[in-house]
Structure 1
Amino acid sequence: MTFKPAPWPRKLRSQEWYGGTSRDTIYHRGWMKNQGYPHDLFDGRPVIGIMNTWSDLTPCNGHLRELAEKVKAGVWEAGGFPVEVPAFSASENTFRPSAMMFRNLAALATEEQMRGQPIDGAVLLVGCDKTTPSLMMAAASTDIPSIVVTGGPMLNGYFRGERVGSGTHLWKFSEAVKAGEMTQEEFVEAEASMSRSSGTCNTMGTASTMASMAEALGMALSGNAAIPAVDSRRRVMAQLSGRRIVQMVKDDLKPSDILTKKAFENAIRTNGAIGGSTNAVVHLLALAGRVGVDVTLDDWDRLGRDVATIVNLMPSGEYLMEEFFYAGGLPVVLKRLGEAGQLHKDALTVSGGSIWDEVKDVINHNEDVIRPADRALTDHGGIAVLRGNLAPKGAVLKPSAASAHLLTHRGRAVVFEDIDDYKAKIVDDALDIDETCVMVLKNCGPRGYPGMAEVGNMGLPAKVLKKGITDMVRISDARMSGTAYGTVVLHTAPEAAAGGPLAVVRDGDMIELDVPNRRLHLDISDEELAARLEAWVPAHERPESGYAWLHQAHVMGADTGADLDFLLGCRGRDVGKDSH
């Protein structure tokens, strides 16, 4: 940790709009005064943009308007000038074809809001899956001092005495209905228990994973990740973050100071320890690309391989985020990693201090929720990166969510050409499939779906479920929800729509999965594979949406984060030219 605060006072970026008495300055300042702001607010104090992803159509973030008021209170207290700015909100449960397609659009839109407006610092008010990475990507591209405040997870759900994890039990109950173990009426009854308070998923799904990643990266105050949305301490965290961002602006503590290689390595190891979502892979790769730090899939495999999963939360374990918070939350996990020599203790955080200073004195209040290493859920909890002739640029699998007996498997391919083909075939009892087969789904990657939807954890056919089978090997170029589970190979690269080997897999081909040796192999000759690839013809369909066309034309592969190629790199916080 070598950060040296910048001198204060100094001229801030916002003064290019508000400082002085020129015609242009009076134009900018005068219009702002129509909201009742007194003249001395424009005297050079830090202007803090609260980038708020609230939306009625983003239910996970539905409480962020209230939370923004606490952020504002903190900014006022610290002598700043808070301005709330609506940010593009990509809702996981409403956006079609996939929220992931709009992560990059949200990052682009937020970047331009930060770049083109008089903002000296930003509070990234986020929650739902894509809102956290998209706003961090924007902050990394502009390098304006920024701090993450997440909305927090919802409270535990319960159905007939059983803990219900949002998302996780959606998949579980849906399969139970198909297997004849649960009625449709019971499924509808259980719906009411899945989302019983404001907040994000209460499992270690993508939202909670990305909140944990923000904290492990040092981009949020210590303890931010796990506080429930409706807990009063969530509002306290928001207010403290509002205070802190003002000092960050004065110190000129930027994302590029915090988002170093050490920070990413801490986050990758943390993901293994918490049993985090595979979605963190594409999001952190994209974020690293924005700030210009060299992070690859190989780093994910190297750093996570020997990290034990010690957080006993669904979908890998049995508890939910509420218990995780009561146990001590992410600071306890970071302390454990530090004690095990798996944390860069000197990594800088938004607090201005090191990550170790933030966590070294915390206490674990429940060792069944955050377990000691000798009682870990799995000794090797990181993301497994697989390679072979079926995935030359890599594919990923989450061992803590997989079935141990399937981690080494050879089976006959049952191929679905796209998601519509899957939906048509999977309900047909005549489909030639059993539990030994390998389900293969094509054309669901970044370019193919488009947008890389969370369809990789394909539901099993009813005739297999009725045997009591709950898992099969599944392979695709898609993603899966962080709340999901199973022996699911994801993000296969190059994707089928880009002419990757996945595109030419045929029904009946034998596929070998060997997770211990990180191998994914299509059992045909090199000559046969080359001939199939030579004969492959891409689909030429222009999407109706203008942005979908732009996305398909410029999106990169999952192995590098599925960002748009022209958005790579930190472009800084230029103020541009005043057109008035």
Structure 2
Amino acid sequence: MSENDNKKVKLRSAEWFGSNDKNGFMYRSWMKNQGIPDHEFQGKPIIGICNTWSELTPCNAHFRKLAEHVKRGILEAGGFPVEFPVFSNGESNLRPTAMLTRNLASMDVEESIRGNPMDAVVLLVGCDKTTPALLMGAASVDLPTIVVTGGPMLNGKLNGKNIGSGTAVWQLHEQVKGGEISMHEFLAAEAGHSRSAGTCNTMGTASTMACMAESLGTSLPHNAAIPAVDARRYVLAHMSGIRIVEMVREDLKLSKILTKENFENAIRVNAAIGGSTNAVIHLKAIAGRIGVDLELEDWTRVGRGMPTIVDLLPSGRFLMEEFYYAGGLPAVIRRMGDGNLLPNPNALTVNGKTIWENCQDAPIYDDEVVRPLDKPLLKDGGICILRGNLAPRGAVLKPSAATPALMQHRGQAVVFEDFEHYKSRIMDPNLEVDANSVLVMKNCGPKGYPGMAEVGNMGLPPKLLAAGVKDMVRISDARMSGTAYGTVVLHVAPEAMAGGPLGIVQDGDWITLDCAGGELNLEITDEEMAARQAVRVTGSAPGPKTGYQQLYIEHVLQADEGCDFDFLVGNRGSAVPRHSH
């Protein structure tokens, strides 16, 4: 960028560094204690690098190096990089769930961006909730913004074969419970499970949200799939640094990218990749921050009918390495566009081109991994939105992870009042349950298990596993990991703890699931439902509450609204706060 280019745009950072009065003196002087020369403050765009690096978030533990490559690009393009940390909410270690702190991280991001001298921001994201948290916070401020993902791990290995991080845990644990493998074999899998830096190498929530970021237009092409340790990941970081400086010159703010059209593209892409159900909650939350009206019905309207063409675990066979080598997300978008299945090909992306301009000539190297439209993994991979007297405000199911024969099912409920009750009861050899039963778990939603933990994919009763049963219908107000699988109904809203009808289900009640019709019903009369509701008592989640957890319980919205805080919805803009001196 030339000096003349810089003068075309009024830099927000000039409110800090552009005057020769007392305030300008102090802001520049304090920054100069880092050895920054005077010319860096002479009209250069200040680019924030929002870093979720943490050794407690293994998926993001390589971000120091990633940030250095972003800085190289920013400096090359004539900008000045300033790196800053924010809360790193990693799903792998953080209890009870990183979803509890997604909104906290978004608040950290929003206030860090708004209150500091920056003209644009690069978001370094990776583990599940860091991607939506940073996009939510940035959307509430609306500066030029670009996403750089940390990338997936290399393929896991066990007995000479590939295994998927996350997915293998669920599979191996069920095999132990069913007596198929020994505890020694189970523990031996640990060493080859996570072989390199990066996020889960399946199409779990981290990979899904990386694909969502790319399909939303907020990252450069190929950002979603390049392995974390591939040199091309660092090239992309460098090029993103260059591009963010250009975005300042073009005044290409996040609100110009995060349009309804791009959200519709992302919904359709999620079906094509067999993406995580968590995307439903996260996209709704991001849309709420930027001011886009996104509803559950949009997932039905836009997503249903789209074939799943990416053959990746947990829905298919391959892993993220193969996905990148096959052409990555641009290959998927090209398939969609060639088949007239990309809703909005003219939607703008951060490189200044439309999504179709970026992908129309994308090479497709492997038809097994990125399948042709006429040979899909699943004919209809769109997230199934369910409603009925058991889920008046909606519930979700992921068809690509479900057993087709169970997607229309009628069975009797086996009820667990909460996750602790489930853990104690599921192991009971005398539990009255069979393959046709419907496992129902309550009080694991946003308020009930503060943060809505990933416990919805309840493991099956050991006695049924031993008999060869591989899947059952499961219903809860919880979430499940994107790496998990099964015929699992999730995000039932309203949740039990908020008075939803899930809370009145009793052992032996008949439940009907009809994915094709989008219905989930408890087979009792309206009168019986009203009578049960009249005598029920809704309590509060057990255990001590931290200050933040209490804030969360009091202000979190339900799953159909994205689980954001009621007071955070909306765009508050990038106006410079008042001087403090």
Same-fold call, TM cutoff 0.5: yes
Indicate the residue corresponding to 1:521 in structure 2.
Answer: 521
**Deviation of residue 161 (structure 1)?**
2.7
State how 1:27-176 maps to structure 2 within 5 Å: 27-176=26-175
Kept after mapping to 1: 8 A contact 2:202/2:312 = yes
DSSP-derived class of the 2:411 partner: strand
Q: Distance in 2 between matches of 1:544 and 1:445?
A: 16
Matches within 5 A, 1:231-380: 231-343=230-342, 344-380=344-380
Q: CA deviation at 1:388?
A: 0.5
Letter of the 2:551 counterpart: L
| Alpha-carbon shift at residue 502 of structure 1 (Å) | 0.3
Q: State the alpha-carbon separation in 1 of the partners of residues 458 and 545 from structure 2.
A: 27
Answer yes or no: is the 8 Å Cα contact 1:543–1:549 preserved in 2: no
What displacement does 1:366 show?
Answer: 0.2
1:505 match: 505
SS at match of 1:493: coil
- Kept after mapping to 2: 8 A contact 1:177/1:184: yes
Deviation digits for residues 235-275 of structure 1 (CA, Å, limit 9, x no counterpart): 00000000000011111101100010100000000000000
Secondary structure of 1:35's counterpart equals coil
Structure 1 residue 20, shift from structure 2 partner: 1.4
Cα-to-partner distance string for 1:187-215 (whole Å, 9 max, x where unaligned): 11111111000000000000000000000
Distance 1:33 1:431 in 2: 69
Letter in 2 for 1:145: P
* Paired letter, 1:96: R
Matched-pair contact (CA < 8 Å) for 1:103–1:131? yes
What amino acid is the match of 1:132? Answer: T
Secondary structure of the equivalent of 1:511? strand
Moved more, 181-190 or 533-542: 533-542
CA contact (8 A) 1:63 1:198 kept: yes
Distance 2:383 2:369 in 1: 21
Give the Cα–Cα distance (whole angstroms) in 2 for the partners of residues 11 and 363 of structure 1: 40
Residue 576 (structure 1) aligns with:
577
- CA shift at 1:371, angstroms? 0.2
Question: Matches of 1:553 and 1:305 in 2, distance apart?
Answer: 34
Q: Secondary structure at the match of 1:72?
A: helix
Q: Is the 8 A contact 2:448 2:540 kept in 1?
A: no
1:93-148 deviation per Cα after TM superposition (whole angstroms, max 9, x unaligned): 11111110100110011100001110110000010000000000111100011000
Structure 2 contact 9–248 (Cα < 8 Å) conserved? no
Structure-1 separation of matches of 2:540 and 2:228:
45
Letter in 1 for 2:119: D
Q: Does 1:486 align with 2:486?
A: yes
Q: How does 1:376-415 map onto structure 2 within 5 Å?
A: 376-415=376-415
For the 8 Å contact 2:381–2:398, the answer to whether it is kept is yes
Kept in 1, the 8 Å contact 2:6–2:44? The answer is no
Q: Which residue of 1 aligns with 2:560?
A: 559
Report the residue type matching 1:249 in the other structure: V
Contact 2:299 2:383 in 1 (8 A): yes
DSSP-derived class of the 1:186 partner: helix
2:476 and 2:160 map into 1 onto residues whose CA distance is 36
**Structure 1: unaligned runs, 5 residues or longer:** 1-5
Residue equivalent to 1:460: 460
In 1, Cα distance between the equivalents of 2:492 and 2:364?
A: 38
Measured in 1, the distance between the counterparts of 2:120 and 2:187 equals 45
SS class of match (2:490): strand
CA offset at residue 10 of structure 1? 3.0
Distance in structure 2 (CA, Å) of the matches to 1:123 and 1:166: 27
- Kindly, what percent of the aligned residue pairs are identical? 61
Q: CA deviation at 1:520?
A: 0.4
Distance in 2 of aligned mates of 1:578 and 1:149: 32
CA distance in 2, matches of 1:66, 1:25: 32
**Aligned twin of 2:431:** 431
Q: CA deviation at 1:336?
A: 1.3
> AA paired with 1:301?
T
Q: Hey, what's the Cα distance between the residues in 2 that align with 1:304 and 1:427? A: 38
In 2, the alpha carbon distance for the partners of 1:113 and 1:461 equals 47
How far off its partner does 1:8 sit?
A: 4.8
Please state whether the residue corresponding to 1:197 is helix, strand or coil: coil
Distance in 2, Cα, partners of 1:180 & 1:319: 26
More moved, 532-541 vs 274-283? 532-541
CA drift of 1:461 comes to 0.9
Structure 2 distance, partners of 1:58, 1:127, is 9
What is the rounded CA distance, in whole Å, between the counterparts of 1:429 and 1:291 in structure 2?
Answer: 51
Q: Is the 8 A contact 1:50 1:83 kept in 2?
A: yes
Q: Verify the 8 A CA contact 1:60 1:128 in the aligned structure 2.
A: yes
Amino acid at match of 1:207: A
Deviation by residue 1:338-396 (Cα, 9 ceiling, x = unmatched): 12222211100000111111011111100000000111011100100001000000000
Shift of 1:544: 2.2
- Runs of 4 or more, structure 1, over 4 Å off, are none
Q: Which residue in 2 is equivalent to 1:448? A: 448
Structure 2 residues not aligned, in runs of 5+: none
Aligned mates of 1:386, 1:129 — CA distance in 2:
24
| 1:61-108 Cα deviation digits (max 9, x unpaired) | 010111000000000000000011001110101111111010011001
CA distance in 1, matches of 2:512, 2:6: 60
In structure 2, what is the equivalent of residue 3 of structure 1?
Answer: none
In 1: Cα distance, 2:293 partner to 2:558 partner: 16
- Given that 2:153 and 2:229 are in contact with CA atoms closer than 8 Å, whether structure 1 keeps it comes out as yes
Secondary structure, counterpart of 2:409 in structure 1? strand
Taking structure 2 as the reference length, the TM-score comes to 0.98
Deviates more, 1:564-573 or 1:423-432: 423-432
CA distance in 1, matches of 2:173, 2:503: 29
Residues 430-455 of structure 1, C-alpha deviation per residue, up to 9 Å, x if partnerless?
21111110000101111110100000
The root-mean-square deviation of aligned C-alpha atoms, in Å, is 1.0
- TM-score for both structures, normalised by structure 1: 0.98
Alignment of 1:192 with 2:191, yes or no, is yes
**Per-residue deviation at 1:578?**
0.8
Q: Where does residue 178 of structure 1 map in the other structure?
A: 177
Contact 2:7 2:43 in 1 (8 A): no
Structure 1 counterpart of 2:440, one-letter code: V
Of the structure 1 ranges 91-100 and 173-182, higher mean CA displacement relative to structure 2 is found in: 91-100
2:415 aligned counterpart, secondary structure? strand
Name the amino acid aligned to 1:517.
G
